[in-house]
C-alpha cells in the first residue's frame, strides 16, 4: 500500500518530536520532514508534495494560515492544524482543515484526527485515479479512431471495439498493459490477479468487469475463477470428473470446465499461437 507522506510544521522542537513519535508508530505513515517556521513549510510543501501536513498556526516568518494562503489550491495537502490557541478553530475550518488539534491533546484525539485525514486522502486518491483512468482510456480510444485502414485489423464482424491495452490500478499507480501480454486472470474475492510474463498484479476489480473489457475472440472464461488469453494456451489435458487442465505459456496449469471445452477448441482453431 502506498504510504501517506506526512510533513510536520511547528516552531517548538518538543512539539515536532512528539508528533513524529506518534506518526512513526503508524505503518501507513511516512514522515518526510519537519519545519520550524512558515516560510520553510511553504518551500517544503512545494518541493516534496506531502499528502498530509500537521500545521501549527502561530509561527515566525509566516503563520499557518499564511502558509496555506501562499499555496495554490492544487499545491495544498490535507491539513490538520495543531495549536495551543483555541480562538483560531473557526478560521481553521474555514480554510478547509480536515481537523483541529488543541494542545495538549490525548492519543485518542490524535488517532481520531489521523483517521479522518486518512479517509480524506484515500477518497482523493481514488477520485484522482478514476479521473486519470478515464482520461487515459479516452486518449487510447482517440488513438484507435485515428489509425488508418492499413494499420487497423480487419473486423471479424459486428461487435464492440476493444483497445489493445488495459489500464490497471494497483499499488497506488496506473499500469498500462498490452492485452496480448496478459496470460491469465484469476478471481480472488473482490480482487483479480492479473498474470503477465514474469509479473503478477492484484487489482481491486471483478473478473466479470475484466471480461467485459477484453475481446471475447481472444479471451475465454475457462472456469468461474479463470479468464485466459488464447494466444498463451499451450495444451489441454483431461482431468478427473470430466474437467480438463489448460497449460499456459508461463507454465501455469488452470482448470477448464467441461462446458467450456468445445468453445475453447473452436476458438483455438481461429487463434494463432504466440
Three-state secondary-structure class, residue 3: coil
Do both 169 and 261 map to the same domain? yes
Helices 13-24 + 107-146 axis angle, to 10:
70
186 within some domain: yes
Tell me whether residue 140 is in a domain: no
Mean pLDDT of 257-273: 60
Sheet containing strand 233-238, strands side by side: 233-238, 244-248, 253-256
Please check whether residue 102 is in contact with residue 83, taking contact to mean a CB–CB distance below 8 angstroms: yes
Q: Say yes or no to pLDDT of 272 above 60.
A: no
Q: Are residues 110 and 28 in the same domain?
A: yes
Comparing 165 with 115, the larger pLDDT belongs to 115
- pLDDT bin (cut points 50, 70, 90) of residue 197 is confident
Give me the domain span that covers residue 10.
4-124
Measured CA to CA, the distance from residue 72 to residue 94 in angstroms comes to 16
Looking at the structure, tell me whether residues 118 and 160 fall in a common domain.
no
79, 61 contact by CB (below 8 A):
no
Q: Residues 67, 55: contact at Cβ < 8 Å? A: yes
Query: How much is the average pLDDT of 178-194?
Result: 90
Establish if 88 belongs to a structural domain: yes
Q: What is the DSSP letter of 155?
A: P
The Cα-based distances of 114 to 4, 118, 154, 259 in angstroms read 11, 6, 55, 52
Mean pLDDT, all residues of the chain: 79
The answer to whether the pTM exceeds 0.75 is no
The answer on pLDDT for 270 being more than 60 is no
Q: Whole-angstrom Cα distance, residue 194 to residue 187?
A: 9
- DSSP letter at 157 equals S
- Nearest of 216, 222, 160 to residue 185 by alpha carbon: 222
The model's pLDDT over 40-53, given as tens digits with 9 standing for 90+, comes to: 999 999 999 999 99
**Reported confidence tier of residue 7, pLDDT bands at 50, 70, 90:** very high
Model confidence pLDDT, tens digit, residues 52-108: 999 998 898 888 888 988 988 888 889 998 888 766 665 665 555 788 888 888 899
Tell me if 21 is assigned to some domain. yes
- Minimum mean pLDDT among 128-132, 207-211, 222-226: which range? 128-132
| Same domain, residue pair 115 and 201 | no
Edge-to-edge strand list for the sheet holding 4-9: 29-35, 4-9, 52-55, 78-83, 99-102
C-alpha distance from residue 149 to each of 145, 152, 156, 195, 271 (Å): 10, 5, 14, 32, 22
Q: Is residue 94 part of a domain?
A: yes
Amino acid at each position: 500500500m502506498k504510504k501517506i507522506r506526512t510533513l510536520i510544521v511547528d516552531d517548538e522542537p518538543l512539539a515536532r518530536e512528539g508528533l513524529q513519535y506518534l506518526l512513526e508508530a503508524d505503518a501507513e505513515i511516512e514522515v518526510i520532514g519537519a519545519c520550524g517556521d512558515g516560510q520553510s513549510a511553504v518551500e517544503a510543501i512545494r518541493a516534496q508534495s506531502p499528502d498530509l501536513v500537521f500545521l501549527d498556526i502561530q509561527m515566525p516568518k509566516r503563520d499557518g494560515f499564511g502558509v496555506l494562503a501562499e499555496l495554490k489550491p492544487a499545491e495544498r495537502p490535507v491539513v490538520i492544524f495543531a495549536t495551543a490557541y483555541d480562538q483560531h478553530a473557526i478560521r481553521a475550518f474555514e480554510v478547509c482543515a480536515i481537523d483541529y488539534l488543541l494542545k495538549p491533546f490525548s492519543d485518542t484525539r490524535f488517532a481520531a484526527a489521523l483517521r479522518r485525514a486518512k479517509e480524506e486522502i484515500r477518497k482523493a486518491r481514488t477520485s484522482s485515479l478514476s479521473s486519470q483512468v478515464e482520461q487515459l482510456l479516452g486518449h487510447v480510444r482517440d488513438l484507435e479512431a485515428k489509425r488508418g485502414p492499413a494499420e487497423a485489423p480487419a473486423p471479424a464482424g459486428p461487435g464492440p471495439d476493444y483497445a489493445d491495452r488495459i489500464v490497471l490500478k494497483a499499488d497506488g499507480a496506473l499500469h498500462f498493459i498490452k492485452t496480448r501480454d496478459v496470460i491469465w486472470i484469476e478471481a480472488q474475492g473482490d480482487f483479480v490477479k492479473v498474470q503477465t510474463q514474469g509479473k503478477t498484479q492484484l487489482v481491486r476489480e471483478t473478473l466479470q468487469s475484466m471480461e467485459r473489457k477484453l475481446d471475447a475472440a481472444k479471451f475465454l472464461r475457462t472456469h468461474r475463477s479463470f479468464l485466459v488469453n488464447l494466444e498463451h494456451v499451450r495444451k489441454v489435458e483431461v482431468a478427473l470428473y470430466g474437467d480438463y487442465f489448460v497449460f499456459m505459456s508461463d507454465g501455469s496449469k488452470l482448470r477448464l470446465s467441461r462446458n467450456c471445452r468445445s468453445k475453447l477448441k473452436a476458438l483455438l482453431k481461429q487463434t494463432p499461437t504466440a
